[in-house]
Structure 1
């Protein structure tokens, strides 16, 4: 059995354990084992089981190893079959409904006999669910909305998961003896925040159709659709999808460009080519006389069309072709431009690491400053800091800064924007911080007018330096709250408040589609990892990707300033 099939079974076991409300450490062990097994590069785990190598793999313990051995040797797991017999498999699908946890699912199942998503939708719609204790009409309505949201987004995954999936898929394609080279394409290459299929383009020394067909029967494949001319859509048992584009070497560059997309970008480039008397169709570019133009790589394609090179992140059909024709594309920000971070949490609130540990991790990453911005007191659910805790935290930061750690620690706070638009904490306490990130963490269901007024009022507070995760969205689980973003952006620009691009991959908020407007109005930006652990600092790469999609340059982003420059910029905001 292959790693993907085994990992899928282990993940199902973890889901069933959670539904049964058993030991959460047990479910975590199976999830860790699923992740670990995917790191093994093979189509057959049997030799690894027989040799004992899997027992040495980090993340695999005695219990999970026993399950893996049984799966590999027999193709089945008695434990998984037992769990399936005890718990309807339809309940697993309910776990994907936003706001519906295992406890609620069990109450619904036991109280109404609901075992499938369709039955849940019917019970929520016809009033039965609202009659259950501790549910009510409001909860039922949210569940109906959540089911619709799940169906709309169930085929998508967050960017980091897609990136991890793509590594395994790309490695499998590259390992094929007839594949000379291969690369990722599609929405993943464009660094979209959510991804549906993993696109891979492969240059083949043999007939592309045969290479593509060989993946249809690969281990871990549920089914596959051959689409002719070396194209195949491969569905794996765990729900992931590979869109494979196999081509001859001379067509590789054009296939890479076309598969990267987007459709709007490809259409705009084709229109630009036509306006120059050229013809772009399929994987070919022809000049005005119908002669095929040799294209060795993407840069050569754009050059042949009189365009400067367009980075993959910009290929969304939002004016990039016209800008390339005019030589007006931005010099996009890069990860190397980042000199420090501001949105970080410590164990003073809901973070996992101490301030010293966060600072050292940031220093190792090459940054010269880190801001600690724990939650304010109203965020009691996240260990929000009472005033006396703020004083204690600032004393600790002063002590750490006196030790010359090789990195400067700034005093920040992620302060709640209260329902009336006031900022959590009184003005005297707010004066103590180097900067204030103002964020909405409650009352998401306000109507558009009320929510907009709430945020606009918060921006009037002179202490506010950054507007945190401006739309409140949680990708694939919670929609953005209703708000007039154009009004908010205009107010932030007028007040000199930076807008955050929250780099947590579940947020990636501000949406990149708003960045161009904000930049045109003179807004500055802050890319915040929203790190709750040292590992969370690595979120910055996702935030930089969104900034690039939003046409941002290094000069647009506060984090590219030195420690001295950013402190001065923050002071200027207070004085202004």
Structure 2
């Protein structure tokens, strides 16, 4: 099981107990075990009652609950609480600014039990009459509730991937000889997936449709479906699912239509015919033939966005596009010095095993007390350990960095005598996120102008499907990074993917380097770089414009040269 699968039922139980007025003393064992699992103090490759009972700090009661979660994904005490609670209460808990006590007050005093109820109460004035809710908090809660209603049914691409694989496996089991492809948002590598879309080609599409819907796992919605389209639910698939059934001869053309934006399909070639027009004229054996028929250069997925792909094709070839294989090492990573789970040695060993040539370590800075940010003394201790490890490596290097909080006025989070000790500095905003566009932009600009800022981290602070992030003037920020030669990261954590892919081309056009950073807090988090590569490829990022596609020697020289200009 994943950490999330273990922790989620425990956290739900804590929340619901507090909503129901449970006393804090009785909840301490649960809080303790959550902390142990969260911080890596307790984690087992093979969960068993015997092992848990022999683990320090784990009581017989907690061991039993953990084994229930392992066996069935939940536990009886939690299910009893859920049965006594309106279903929307857990949804309200997803909203920023609502803790258990306020949720209980909304439920008991105003009968508000869902985000939709909350929006209505904000609009009709009821919430303004409730105790503890001022005008600003009401506005913030309303925005948060609207964001939730628009996004709660979606999945991050990374979470949609195993769901899509399950759907593919189910359909292949029913139709082992059919042509099957995932299309739509998932195939186009969009960061957020609202539904799964599949295409099936066969000689008899209507009977193939009937064959699928006859299976017990597929429940069709008759009002929205048709003879050539299934819309409905699939057992074990959490996302809404649409399946299109087409004649085998039309499979290539239909797949192409459903993996390209309308603006891309409307592009006309030398003959004056658009891609959409040639698709209507004949059948195709492959996608290359489609572009040839329209007299247009081939554009690979996922770049068929209707943005700048045609200009890109005039300058570059497919082999110029960034790939995971081209990356030489991950920058922006955390260790147990701050809020990471692994040691410097463990992070380095993981990178070496993957064939990477370096790692950048950028633990949280001192202001980030919530993340065990590094004091000056701990910075120096970490750097001494890095020096010792680097002396033991032959073809690998750890670069000394920090993820410096950008403070309220745009300052970096250490005095100059400490800032100058790092090889590089990732500057990021973590606190005081409620800013208007001008405030947020100016705060970032001041950090970018600081000569010690090497790289701008997750520029908008967004968490996809959770919070929108603070508004920024992307153009001004990118222009400033170009002027001050500051690298911008694509934070590859699937919850962030920030810088957004739609701004990458503008950044590159201004001469800004892009670094695909995993922001890893555990060794396996280093593999998140592949999600950053997906959106970078969507934007058309090339190997030459990717900072961490540079060699170890090139990165070292870049950091050294940049520091020399400050002295």
> TM-score per shorter chain, which class?
0.7 to 0.9
8 Å CA contact 1:13–1:83 kept in 2: the answer is: no
CA 1:378–1:131: 2 relative to 1, 3 Å? farther
Question: How far has the Cα of 1:513 moved from its partner?
Answer: 0.7
Which SS does the other structure have where 2:452 is aligned? Answer: coil
1:572 equivalenced with 2:561 (yes/no): yes
Question: How far has the Cα of 1:138 moved from its partner?
Answer: 2.9
Q: 1:208 aligns with which of 185, 202, 205?
A: 205
In the alignment, which residue of structure 2 is the partner of 1:319? Answer: 308
8 Å CA contact 2:265–2:276 kept in 1: the answer is: no
Q: 2:370 aligns with which of 381, 389, 393?
A: 381
Which SS does the other structure have where 1:108 is aligned? Answer: helix
In the alignment, which residue of structure 2 is the partner of 1:55? Answer: none
Which SS does the other structure have where 1:232 is aligned? Answer: strand
8 Å CA contact 1:502–1:530 kept in 2: the answer is: yes
Which SS does the other structure have where 2:291 is aligned? Answer: helix
Question: How far has the Cα of 1:93 moved from its partner?
Answer: 2.8
Deviations 1:285-312 (A, max 9, x none): 42xxxxx3x4111122122222222111
- The answer to which of 231-240 and 455-464 deviates more is 231-240
1:182 equivalenced with 2:180 (yes/no): yes
Q: 1:402 aligns with which of 391, 407, 413?
A: 391
Which SS does the other structure have where 2:158 is aligned? Answer: helix
- The answer to which of 208-217 and 334-343 deviates more is 208-217
Which SS does the other structure have where 1:409 is aligned? Answer: strand
Q: Distance in 2 between matches of 1:317 and 1:208?
A: 30
Question: How far has the Cα of 1:380 moved from its partner?
Answer: 1.1
In the alignment, which residue of structure 1 is the partner of 2:262? Answer: 263
- TM-score, normalising length: structure 1: 0.82
In the alignment, which residue of structure 2 is the partner of 1:415? Answer: 404
- The answer to which of 99-108 and 460-469 deviates more is 99-108
Q: Distance in 2 between matches of 1:450 and 1:13?
A: 38
Which SS does the other structure have where 1:175 is aligned? Answer: helix
1:275 equivalenced with 2:272 (yes/no): yes
- The answer to which of 471-480 and 298-307 deviates more is 298-307
After superposition, residues 219-230 of structure 1 pair within 5 angstroms as 219-221=216-218, 223-225=220-222, 227-228=225-226, 230=228
CA RMSD across the alignment: 3.2
CA 1:12–1:172: 2 relative to 1, 3 Å? farther
8 Å CA contact 1:412–1:437 kept in 2: the answer is: yes
Q: Distance in 2 between matches of 1:79 and 1:179?
A: 47
- The answer to which of 333-342 and 239-248 deviates more is 239-248
8 Å CA contact 1:183–1:201 kept in 2: the answer is: yes
8 Å CA contact 1:375–1:383 kept in 2: the answer is: yes
Which SS does the other structure have where 1:462 is aligned? Answer: coil
- The answer to which of 231-240 and 299-308 deviates more is 231-240
Q: Which consecutive unaligned segments of at least 5 residues does structure 1 have?
A: 1-7, 29-59, 72-76, 287-291
CA 1:183–1:24: 2 relative to 1, 3 Å? farther
Question: How far has the Cα of 1:217 moved from its partner?
Answer: 5.0
CA 1:66–1:535: 2 relative to 1, 3 Å? closer
Deviations 1:463-508 (A, max 9, x none): 1110111111111111131221101101101111101110011110
Q: 2:423 aligns with which of 414, 434, 445?
A: 434
After superposition, residues 407-556 of structure 1 pair within 5 angstroms as 407-556=396-545
Deviations 1:290-336 (A, max 9, x none): xx3x4111122122222222111111110324654x57566310110
Q: Distance in 2 between matches of 1:265 and 1:522?
A: 26
8 Å CA contact 1:209–1:231 kept in 2: the answer is: no
In the alignment, which residue of structure 2 is the partner of 1:41? Answer: none
CA 1:394–1:80: 2 relative to 1, 3 Å? closer
CA 1:224–1:95: 2 relative to 1, 3 Å? farther
8 Å CA contact 2:266–2:276 kept in 1: the answer is: no
Which SS does the other structure have where 2:410 is aligned? Answer: coil
Q: Distance in 2 between matches of 1:209 and 1:27?
A: 51
Question: How far has the Cα of 1:357 moved from its partner?
Answer: 0.9
Which SS does the other structure have where 1:564 is aligned? Answer: helix
Q: Which consecutive unaligned segments of at least 5 residues does structure 2 have?
A: 19-26, 36-64
Q: Distance in 2 between matches of 1:405 and 1:135?
A: 60
Q: 2:382 aligns with which of 393, 398, 405?
A: 393
Q: 1:153 aligns with which of 151, 154, 160?
A: 151
- TM-score, normalising length: structure 2: 0.83
Which SS does the other structure have where 1:341 is aligned? Answer: coil
8 Å CA contact 1:233–1:244 kept in 2: the answer is: yes
CA 1:390–1:134: 2 relative to 1, 3 Å? farther
After superposition, residues 350-361 of structure 1 pair within 5 angstroms as 350-361=339-350
1:367 equivalenced with 2:356 (yes/no): yes
CA 1:534–1:483: 2 relative to 1, 3 Å? same
Q: Distance in 1 between matches of 2:275 and 2:529?
A: 41
Q: Distance in 1 between matches of 2:161 and 2:358?
A: 29
Question: How far has the Cα of 1:94 moved from its partner?
Answer: 2.0
In the alignment, which residue of structure 2 is the partner of 1:118? Answer: 116
Q: Distance in 2 between matches of 1:113 and 1:25?
A: 32
8 Å CA contact 2:116–2:149 kept in 1: the answer is: no
CA 1:278–1:61: 2 relative to 1, 3 Å? closer
In the alignment, which residue of structure 2 is the partner of 1:86? Answer: 84
Q: Distance in 2 between matches of 1:566 and 1:277?
A: 44
Which SS does the other structure have where 1:143 is aligned? Answer: helix
After superposition, residues 280-295 of structure 1 pair within 5 angstroms as 280=277, 284-286=279-281, 292=282, 294-295=283-284
Q: Distance in 1 between matches of 2:149 and 2:274?
A: 44
In the alignment, which residue of structure 1 is the partner of 2:230? Answer: 232
Q: Distance in 1 between matches of 2:487 and 2:189?
A: 23
Q: Distance in 2 between matches of 1:457 and 1:149?
A: 30
